[in-house]
A and B are shown apart, each in its own frame.
Chain A
């Protein structure tokens, strides 16, 4: 039974990515191949990145007799990666699983349910651990003398370290579940936590080189700090480097103990945790005047409430807007760097103006704004509402376009104005810097809805499925990237000698306007008919 539960939980964990539509007889092979290639690319890139770091550490630490720190660094990486990677999964699996009550009503021991959930989380952790452990192992194997005991202890260490990480992730997941269950606005907390994790991620990765340099320059100092403050990780390094059984034993006791404690606490309280329905405090309605809107505005407001009601929708579909504002801010601060970069490009023969650079960058970032691309799919089981109400399909569809424009157009306009002011653009450049990204945003908004009408997915279990893995989202993103890249390449390699950049940008704006007009025309006719024919 435990085995079946583990398989079920693993399936649930990966369902978002590999779920098959109820209506599809066969999974679309192109989508499967695309997902597999993307997974291989991400996995290989990260392994390469960490491989480079371990190569540098290997060259530095082993000659300094600090070989143990090489493994301790790997241990810290695995622990942190597993913790961050599994904290939300742990919350969903352990404390917010919708099937807890169903499983408890079946003749299954609560411990078996818990074991199933923990085992699937552990498997997820092992995937994260592999990203660190594999390059560390290969570099060590190739460049250093290796003993059988060392290899054995390395494997034991990598297999046991995620246990401690899982214990800590479970504790934090419990805290999050406890806090969010009592909050009225869970979305705000989830959004803040996600942004904090994302900010940390970007901070660490954007400063990775300086961190590595620090590590190299202050290797001994940092190693001494690790020896004193991260006692178990230090012994893990010693156990692998020197094949010390005693150190392995000390490490194992320190690592396994929190896991066992977590296991005992969860086992003793699982029924209470699983059946708990804390719920936020009830908000009592007090009658007040209701705002009246016309049909189109009512639908736009509905779309906006949907968007702002789901932190994952915001984070996954409108990150481009944040990047635009941050980028414009950076341009204000690093104006000279941007201008000298343009100067350097001009010297190499690539005719680029500040306006062209801003338009190209904002255009590229627009490809990350995918608010409208899953919006038809997100109707899901509620599709009957829009279809049974006395409203024209074009009004329903344009509400989605307008939501995209409001969410992504405002940051694009703000970023454009900041950039134009920072670069002291002349009136024509100012106009182009404003018009090109805004028209691109409008085009993206329309394209997202059109493409989603052709690739809708209504049978999702979680809204993240259409938001993150929908075909329409992938096609919108790569379509926009391809369009901007093609226009840039066309100018740089072909048209730069024939037309000046201002004229070219004007032509780009005209192209976006024509494409947008065509897509709008389609939404009024064929798109509306397609919406009328949609069923979930």
Chain B
């Protein structure tokens, strides 16, 4: 579903991502872990077409991000670490705008907005301007907008930040269901307990380079993900 092949991105002299290779298959929840400034967000932004990269290739559902960016963007959904959205729109107008861009039919968008807004308890607030939303409400709105076109691949940067425990639980359920239906999820997180319980596979990145990747059992063995991560960090 997502193939990152020898990805390199530099900012001036700094190699933010250095020869990174990852492969996320349909049905997988893939966790992406690393310290602050490790290159997680840069990788995610390159995958979603926000950031151009220096070398390597990225394929989404078999399509190249470089040669067919629109084809890639149509099948993926992105939730950024900081859900900045058009504050001059109301929640419902923002969702309708996203549905327009993805060409979601009227009855389908109506049904999905109803379903997910109810699920995340945001229905009553959809007429409010986004500027009046709290961080958590914006995060929920970003999640609903990401689910509107039923993406094959969801890419999320710290998706649990700002969500209350109930909403976090619902998101985890959605993630599991989506993968159960053949979708894939690639997300970064600092909450290692969540990654350990939720992810099928995990990759740890340090200073732009892949340190370790594989199934959860391969990476952590008999210890916890936290101890593996801390051990790897100490080897710096």
Using a CB–CB cutoff of 8 Å, the interface residues on chain A facing chain B are 279-280, 282-287, 289-295, 297-299, 301-302, 305-306, 309-310, 380-385, 387-392, 532-533, 535
Contacts and interface: CB of A to CB of B under 8 A. Distances in A.
Contact of B89 (A302, A390, A391): A302
Nearest to A535: B51
Interface in B30-88: 45, 48-52, 70-71, 73-74, 78, 80, 82, 84-86, 88
Nearest to A390: B73
A388 B84 contact: no
Contacts of B132: 279-280
Nearest to A532: B52
Contacts of A301: 97
Nearest to B122: A285
A354 to B, nearest CB: 42
Interface string B108-143: 011001100000000111111000100000000000
Nearest to B72: A390
Contacts of A283: 127-128
A384 B80 contact: yes
Interface stretch (B99-107, B195-203, B212-220, B223-231): B99-107
A357 B74 CA distance: 51
10 contacts: A282-B124, A282-B128, A285-B92, A292-B99, A292-B106, A293-B100, A306-B86, A383-B50, A387-B50, A391-B101
Given A285-B123, A290-B109, A384-B80, A302 B97 contact: yes
Contacts of A285: 91-92, 123-128
A280 B128 CA distance: 10
A290 B70 CA distance: 25
B96 interface: yes
Contact of A382 (B70, B86, B113): B86
Given A298-B100, A390-B70, A289 B110 contact: yes
Contacts of A297: 100
B93 A298 contact: no
Contacts of B49: 387-388
B101 A390 contact: yes
A389 B73 contact: yes
Contacts of A310: 88
Contact of B70 (A291, A302, A392, A535): A392
A283 B109 CA distance: 22
Contacts of B70: 390-392
Contact of A385 (B85, B93, B103, B106): B85
Interface of B: 45, 48-52, 70-71, 73-74, 78, 80, 82, 84-86, 88-89, 91-93, 96-103, 105-106, 109-110, 113-114, 123-128, 132
Contacts of B86: 302, 305-306, 382, 385
A246 to B, nearest CB: 55
A301 B89 CA distance: 10
Contacts of A299: 101
A388 B78 contact: yes
Contact of A290 (B71, B73, B101, B110): B110
Contacts of B126: 285
Contacts of A286: 127
A382 B84 contact: yes
Contact of A381 (B84, B96, B124, B125): B84
B100 A292 contact: yes
A533 B126 CA distance: 33
A421 B176 CA distance: 68
Contact of B48 (A382, A388, A392): A388
**3 A-B pairs with least C-beta separation:** A298-B100, A309-B88, A390-B73
Contacts of A382: 84-86
Nearest to A308: B88
Given A289-B110, A388-B48, 15 more contacts: A283-B128, A285-B127, A290-B99, A290-B109, A290-B113, A292-B100, A298-B100, A305-B86, A306-B86, A384-B45, A388-B49, A389-B98, A390-B71, A391-B70, A391-B101
